[in-house]
Structure 1
Amino acid sequence: MQAQNLSNSSQNHNKVKTCELKALGLLRSLDQFGVPISLTYKNEPVLKSHAGGVATILSRVIVLAFMIVQIQDVYNRVCTIQTSIYKRDLNSDFTEFNLTEQIFDIGLKLEYIFFEKDPTIQANLDQYVYLQLSQNEYQWIKNSKGQRVQIKYKQKVELTKCEQGIYDSFQCPERVNFQIGGSFAVQKSKFIQVAIRDCNQTYLNEKYNKTKQCKSKDEISKVAQFLKLHIITQNSYFDAKSFETISVKKSLDLFYLMSIKDKSIYYYMLLSQNKILRKDNMVYGPDIEEKFIETKIDHNIVQELNSTDPYNNAYIGVYIMLNDEVKQIERKVFNVLDALKNTGGFISKLNFTVKKNFRMYLRQYGFCRTRNSNSAFKDKLYENGLMKVHRELDIRNISRELRTLKFITNTILDKYQRYMLPLFRANLLNNQPKMLSFDIDDNVLEESLANIIIHEDVNKTFYDKEFRLSEEIVMKMRKPATFVEKMSRSMKQHRDQNNFHNSQDKDNELEIEQNLSNESDEEQDKSQSVPEQNNRKKELLIDDDIFQKYQPNKSEIHQAKPENQQRSFDCLENSQKQLFLPLPESKEDQSEPIDLENIQVQIQPPDNQLKKDKKTIQSNVSEINYYVEDEEEIPAPALDFIKF
């Protein structure tokens, strides 16, 4: 039972862990700020070609032409105008609109229709009817009984003859200062009223100093049914083609209103306050806001004439009220930023069209023409191969393969083979030879030769290093041994014979041993005066004739031809065999091999490179800092030039 409980708990734990991993994976997939990872070819993120260069030039020419057209539109001030209308809630928004002489003006003219037949009536028309302009305010309040009643306030405005641009017996208000706002349905409303009523004797007495009297009711009724009221209002409009400081222009609108027999007619003229938003900057700058007004006759109401009601006894009445509709106009000039934005969008559209749509159209067109061929299967195989390549180029797979290859290389190959491995043809991505062969410094060449032959000596103690340094000072005082020179020449001769005459290998080895024995006898005679050392050191002199006789070209070195690689590895193998031959210095040490870690190298570089200035390199293994900055800049292995 306990085991079953443990298994169930482990299964539940695994399920919870799986859910957590899925949730974390989903969260990671939503990341939009990830670092992009991509491979490069020749330090470029994409593979470039000549055809791509031609296509790039053509696309840039097209983009440049499109950009010139866009700049031309900027110079010509091409603009877009957007008009929107919204309604204002007059029930909750009681905003008064002040009408002044700068934005509004009105002119009135009352005329008898048959004034040509009876001009006396037109001349004495104020004895029949009375033209009145007033500022009205209606407000709902509660009376003493708690009932809501409407209180009406009226402020008369004096009319005088118009002198500023409006003539022909038009009358204008002495001072334009009106307020409009609200509506009849709200608690408070303000508007302008124009009314034509019966003759007002008080007005005649004030105007004509009691010299005129009003006509009778019958005469007034006969004339009142043939009246015509002219109303001129100053409107404003937005000039879309004007880019001046003020783009609002003024205009005059004329309205004709007629009376009806035994009827009272009221016209409702709505005045709207409109807004303008101008974005006229060619580059960047603040927006400009302006306002203008428009007036229009919305509707009219006809009712029976009631002489008892002083507010509804007008033959012609006009209410100028605030319109709840507000028009907003926005003008945006095509500027430089828009031109750049359109050009960028055009570039993206061009790339999208060329790379995707155009190629898709070509495939469809080709598929229709080659219906009986295997083009569809080839396209499907191409897509599958492309997906496979993408999986192969995943950085995780590449890093895993690189680690495996590095482990195999370190396990199977020795140091010199690993050094030669980057120079194989399979590892050279660029077949063109690089200029690295003999353009390097002499010091770099000498250092590379020393690093190839001498092993690193890291585990040596400080005492061993000091002892070796003292031995090197003593060896510097000695003259270079002649037997080493002859030994190197004999090894070189053996190397040449091994390449061209494989049948003479045994004779060459006997000759080398004989030369070594002869030279060892001579060396023993010359070195009797020098005290014996516990660890004898052999000097290997590489003469400059090795470099003079063998001059490979640069492409031969850097392309790493197979024959050069085979020659280098043969050189390594033969050099190891030759260096471990018995030395004929003494009978006791004939079977003792040379310690490669203690070999002291003396290099004579070519005369044509160092101007016959021979430099001796005393290489101490413990003091060498073998450092290579870039694998592509490693000099050519000097083992190809050393002939044993």
Structure 2
Amino acid sequence: MTTVEGGPKLLKKFRKFLKSQDAFGHKISLNYQNQPTFRSSVGGFMTIALRLLLLGYFLSNLVTVINRSQSAIVNSIYKKDLSFDDTSFNLTKNVFDMALFISYFGTDDGVQENIHTYFTANFYQIYFEDNPYTWGTGNDWVYMPIGLEICKEGRFLGENKTAKLINITGNYLCPEENFNLKLSGVNTADSWLTSNLFGNEFVYYTGRLEYTQIGTRELDAGWSLFSVEIDMDEGYVKTGRTVMTILDAFSIVGGLMGITFAFFQYFMEAIQEKLFMSSIISKIFYQTNPVDQEEGVHQLNSIGKMPQKQYIQNKLYQKARNTIENEFDIVRVIKTVRKVDLIFKTMFSKYQSFFIPILRNNVLSKNDIKLRDADFNIKEIQEIKKIDDNKLKIFISSLIMQSEKSKIDKRILKNLSDEYRQNISNKKLDLEKNKVGAQLKKNFLGNLASKLDTNLSLKKYNKEDEWSF
């Protein structure tokens, strides 16, 4: 039994918690002329003008986005410690290429054609491998030879015309096509929407001559006559180029809109408050027409003084404003509601209070909301079903018998009768799903309508003959 009762309680607490987390609830506030805020022509003009200016500014930014005419370039330069940096770059034929040509500048004939007889060129990839058994000797350097071949078309990233123009193709020595050197780059975001999408990474390599060594060597020593090395540079240059995107345009215009609207709201606050008070004063208080002064009588304003007529108007305005501000006080509103509730309980009897919620003005008509006929007057019928037959008989009898003595009872009776006439004329009365309450209401409303139509005396009414419950 505890489990059965605990289930609904737990579900009720969960629903309560779920409702408390709702961040999209409908705002509840008082309205003035069907609007949550007071709106004036001055405020409408300022709002339209401000929106047009912001729209024009946004369109200008949108043109900039399409033309990509505005960009920002940022260069970042820093040093890397190559002793600990494990970043590696793979140089293949698809991203990198190089060639070698040995040229003879002497006057002897036939030397250039047979230059490879006198000189040998080798390509190596050299890297350092820590070997604990060599204690830092030359054996720690690993040489990996790279094969050479005569440069063909398709080298240097497909720049065939340029390679032929400078006589590389067919004359220079290039590494074999499957070479892979391990030795970073540019990030681009080619998107109009945002710079965080569709990023592309490019790697550019530049050469720098660190030093030149000139000297003589003994050929028998096995040393190379000269060498060209390609090494990682500790200098790292990062260049970032960004252009304006659509999200940037929205962000700029949104920030400007927040600032401008806050400024204009502060500027218009005093004006709107005076217009609001003037509108309420004109609708609540009666105002007498100002009497014009006789012709020839003029009031000369002295310095620092306002006209007598304007002074009186300002005093009246201030008095009316103080009155309205006091009526807006929440404590006053609560006290007024409590007084009205007390007056209602004092003036209306119990049976009269029962019929107030089901009067014509408190009921939604089918012609207004276009609901199903079976749902018509469902609220008041449910209220009737909650009351036992004897109590309902007493209420109806009291209402009928007191209708000639009490104007309130007569008006209640009249409203019930008019409601029934309207339903009969529309010929859409269908209350089959609520048999008990529907039949009760149909019986007493129908009899009351017939009595009012024939102008019979309510005193001669016999509820045993004409009323059936």
Normalising by structure 1, we get a TM-score of 0.37
Q: Of the two, which has the highest radius of gyration?
A: 1
Which protein has greater RCO, CA pairs closer than 8 Å, 6+ apart? 2
TM-score, scaled to structure 2? 0.48
Higher helix share: 2
